[in-house]
Amino acid sequence: MTKKQRAETVMTELEKLYPKVPIPLNHNDPFTLLVAVALSAQTTDKKVNQISPKLFEVAGDPFKMKELEVDEIKYLIKEIGLANTKAKNLKRMAELLVERHDGMVPQTFEELEALPGVGHKTASVVMSQGFGVPAFPVDTHIHRLMTLWKLTSGKNVVETEKDAKKLFPRTTWNKLHLQIIFYGREYSPARGNKENDFITKMLFEK
């Protein structure tokens, strides 16, 4: 198979498996999505979804979030990794959203990435899932599988994102990146049994 044929096979098989893909992180609007994605760094989506309801009940918008002390935010998110840093970032993020954007989540990569705790991947998720702007956020599942499927050199997530955007039609990006994540979790975990990873077998069977 050529690289293009492998990419087409991946899209076809993932569409069969996941014709509809929910956004893994529970949220109510762009702000709560932004917060949830920022919290998910080095933490499972499942854990974020467990702790986020209480946080959003107390501080579901930037105006309420900025009024909390860092220690109060930390207490609400204490069960997830890097709680200290994330609490500081959330408070400052909320302050800047109010000061610079009237409490609204900005809709450009540049403005999002200027916020504390918001890197390119987080901004990409918010742009794609919050605002419907075509983006291809690359997480560890996508980076690993794109490398495994020989659709990228696999040097780093930046290169993987560039390669994905070249290979896959722009109209598929927002859905496809979620499909790959779901496939990685279900069929090809980073650690554990990969016997069920039928796409990889299909791509490289002799």
Structurally, what CATH architecture does the domain formed by 30-131 represent?
Orthogonal Bundle (1.10)
Sorted by where each begins, the domain ranges of the chain are 3-22+135-204, 30-131
CATH number of 3-22+135-204: 1.10.1670.10
Instruction: Report the predicted TM-score, pTM, of the whole model to 2 decimal places.
Output: 0.92
Cα distance between residue 143 and residue 153, in whole Å: 10
The two domains 3-22+135-204 and 30-131 share their CATH topology (first three levels equal): no
Q: What is the pLDDT along the chain (206 residues), one digit of tens a residue?
A: 899 999 999 999 999 999 999 999 999 999 999 999 999 998 999 999 999 999 999 999 999 999 999 999 999 999 998 999 999 999 999 999 999 999 999 999 999 999 999 999 999 999 999 999 999 999 888 999 999 999 999 789 999 999 999 999 999 999 999 999 999 999 998 887 778 999 999 999 75
Degrees to nearest 5, angle at CA 140 with 31 and 176:
70
Active-site annotation holds for 194: no
Of 61, 66, 121, 197, which residue is the catalytic one? 121
Of 45, 47, 64, 139, which residue is the catalytic one? 139
Cα distance between residue 150 and residue 154, in whole Å: 8
Active-site annotation holds for 197: no
CB 72 within 8 A of CB 83: no
**The two three-digit tokens of residue 126, written as one number:** 């918010």
- Proportion of the chain in helix, strand, coil states, percent, rounded to 5: 65, 0, 35
201 burial (CB, 10 Å; 0-12 / 13-18 / 19+) is exposed
